[in-house]
Structure formats: C-alpha cells, structure tokens
Amino acid sequence: MDDILDLFFQITHCTYLRLEKDKHLRKELWGWAEKELTRATSYDMETLDPILEAAATFTESCYPLASNEMKFSMSKGTASIVSLDSFLIHPRVQENLAESQKRLVAGLEPLDDFSAAYSTFTKEAAQLYGSINPLVGMLASNGWNQHLEGWCLEGQMQDTYRYTQSGGGSSQSLRICQLEDFPYYLRSITGVPIPYIIGIFKPTRELEVPYTLWMSCFPALKVFACLTNDLFSYPKELLAGERFNYMNIQTKTKQDAGCKSQFVENMPWTFRDTLYETVTRAANCVHAINEVFLSGLSGTKSDGPVRGPDYEFQLGASLWSLFKQGYMSWHIRCPRYKLDGLLSRFENCPPVV
C-alpha cells in the first residue's frame, strides 16, 4: 500500500512539506482544551493530548499562511470532531447526540456539555468565515454541523451493515442503490470536507478568494478531500480489522451491481479495482482544480498592487497548492494513520529547496 500512496503523491505533483510548529497556536489550543474540551468530553488533558496534537499539526500543515485567528478556529473544530470520532466523549452523550442536535435546531437547550460547546463553536465559525460573504459563513457552520449528523447516521448504518454481513439479516437489511453512488455519499457526509475546503480560501478575517471564483471546484475539492483521506486511512483500518469503510463498501456495491474487473477478464470487481478507481478519481480531481486556477490567470503582469481577478486566481492557486501538499503530508506523518514506512521514505529524502 505504501507504493500506491507514494505513486498517488507523485501523480498529483505533490512535494512533502515538513512540519513547522506554531507555538502561539499550540498555547491557545491547549489552553482552550484545558478549560473547555475537558469539560465537554469528560476526559483529562493527558488523554486528549494526541487529539490536540493531531488538530494542531493538521492546521499547521494545511493552512500555513492563515492568521492566528483562523488557525485557532480550525484547530478547535478539528479537535472536537476527532474527539468524537475517537469516542472520547461520555457514552451517554454519544447515545443522546442526535436528540441533543435536534433540540438545538428547534431552539431548545442541548442535553450535554459537548453539544453546547460545539454549538458555540459553529456559531463563532459562522461569524468568522462570514465576515466578508455571509454565505461562506453559513457554509462553514453548516459543514461542521453536518459532520455530527453524519456521525450519528454512520453509527446506525454500521450496525445495519454488520448485521447484514453476519448473515443475520434479510436481503432487505441494507439495500444500496447503485445509481446514487451511496458509498461516496455516505463518505462525504461523515467527513468534514466543507469547512476544510472553505478554510483553504480564507486565510484571514479580512482576506478571502471570492467564492464565485472557486465555486465550480467545490465538487472536485470534496472528492479530493474525502477520497485522499480514505486512501491514507485504509492501512490503519485494515490493521484494525475495520470493514465499514469506503473502500470495502464500494467494492461490495460494485460486486452486487455485477461490475466486472478491469484487470481480470470476465471476473467480478475486486478490491484492486476499487483502489485503482479511487486513486484515479482523486487524481483527476486534483488535475481539474489545477486547471481551473491556471486557466484563470491571464499571464499579464500588473504594474501595481491592484487586486483583480489575476491576483485572486493567483492567491487561490497558491493556497490550494499549499493545502493539497500539506493535507497529504499531514496524513503521512500523523501517528493516527500508522504510515511509518511511508513517513520514513519522505523524511529521509533531502528537503526541496
């Protein structure tokens, strides 16, 4: 798998970016966690430390040009959802999370500290990311909330999937509509692609690449963010014996639909086909996004610091390139993904000057 991920890194024209820690961010994030996240999750700082490290390094890797304010916001959101994904919240909170979110939507008090803290965060995100364009703030806030909805849905779907796979359920237990691309749909709502995408193009409260310039890239950006994470996550999921993930569900869906292998004539679809399809789809999205920003540049030089379409496209291209490379680099070095062999390859290579 390391060779496949290395190849994916190469065909998307990425350079491994070494981590540069932000002391100011880390001081703020750990201080916030000690005051807020410990209360929201019911876990102590020692337990939460790996979560905070993952959140800080993600922001440092993917948004190196962002202001302190933007980095802090992104890190708080990431720490909150990784705590949830790692089941570092009280079991009672997990059980009642959907009900608590429903109450918030209805304008009622939440049932627990985690939901209350997360609601406060999403409101802050709406104000911060909507400082220039209110629509962008709405997208960011709704994107964070969508993750909680997806997390609750994933639990129900996972139970159904296990029941069906064990042979205990009827053929009606989990019927997947082939035309709706259900595996990717499920993947897209259980991840956090929207806030992370918006964060690419808004490095400060006062500066952003206009939404209209990159709006057409949104679908491709979501595919890249989701499927890249799936590719880099699969080794740890395989080691953990986890079956409920995009790669396995997509393979089963293709097999149930009667799809044939691209590699062995007249044979059913295999995991190898899914791997090839996923790498190709994600790489094609990267190339399409690159083309959008390159085609938006007229090639003319400005005589002054006037901010026009060329400046905005150039800014967007630079921010996208940093995110793309930082996103992959973070996955490679994050202990969560257990990619020690791949990390050794990149860390032992001489840095690009």
Residue showing tokens 């897209």: 188
Give the pLDDT band (50/70/90) at residue 59: very high
Going 203 to 198 to 195 to 124, the CA torsion angle's sign is: positive
Q: Give the pLDDT mean for 305-333.
A: 88
Q: Give the pLDDT mean for 187-202.
A: 91
| C-beta separation of 89 from 155 below 8 A | no
Higher pLDDT, 243 or 215: 215
CB atoms within 10 A of CB 174: 17
pLDDT single digits (tens) 132-181? 999 999 999 999 999 998 898 887 777 766 655 555 544 444 565 665 57
Q: What is the pLDDT of residue 189?
A: 84
pLDDT of 55 over the 80 cut: yes
Give the pLDDT band (50/70/90) at residue 114: very high
Q: What is the pLDDT of residue 183?
A: 85
Fold exhibited by the domain 2-15+31-347: Farnesyl Diphosphate Synthase (1.10.600)
With a pLDDT cut of 90, the percent of the chain lying above it is: 74
pLDDT of 304 over the 60 cut: no
pLDDT-wise least confident of 23-37, 55-69, 331-345: 331-345
Give the pLDDT band (50/70/90) at residue 301: very low
CA gap 138, 152 in Å, rounded: 21
Torsion of CA 268, 271, 275, 280, to 10 degrees: 10
Q: What is the pLDDT of residue 182?
A: 81
Give the pLDDT band (50/70/90) at residue 306: very low
CA gap 122, 142 in Å, rounded: 8
pLDDT single digits (tens) 71-94? 999 999 999 999 999 999 999 999
Residue 260 backbone phi and psi in degrees, to 5: -100, 155
pLDDT of 287 over the 80 cut: yes
Residue 15: CB partners within 8 Å, gap ≥ 6? 325, 352
- Nearest-CA neighbor of 23 among 48, 55, 74, 60? 60
Residue 319: CB partners within 8 Å, gap ≥ 6? 65, 200, 201, 203, 209
Query: Average model confidence (pLDDT) for the chain?
Result: 89
With a pLDDT cut of 70, the percent of the chain lying above it is: 89
pTM confidence score: 0.89
- Could you tell me the residue ranges of all domains in the chain? 2-15+31-347
- Name the token pair of 49: 């430390």
Give the pLDDT band (50/70/90) at residue 46: very high
| C-beta separation of 141 from 147 below 8 A | no
CA gap 275, 271 in Å, rounded: 6
pLDDT-wise least confident of 35-39, 128-132, 145-149, 209-213: 145-149
DSSP 245-292: SHHHHHHHHHHHTTPBPSSSTT-B--HHHHHHHHHHHHHHHHHHHHHH
DSSP 53-120: HHHHHHHHHH-TTS-HHHHHHHHHHHHHHHHHHTT-S-HHHHHHHHHHHHHHHTTPPPSSHHHHHHHH
| C-beta separation of 178 from 269 below 8 A | no
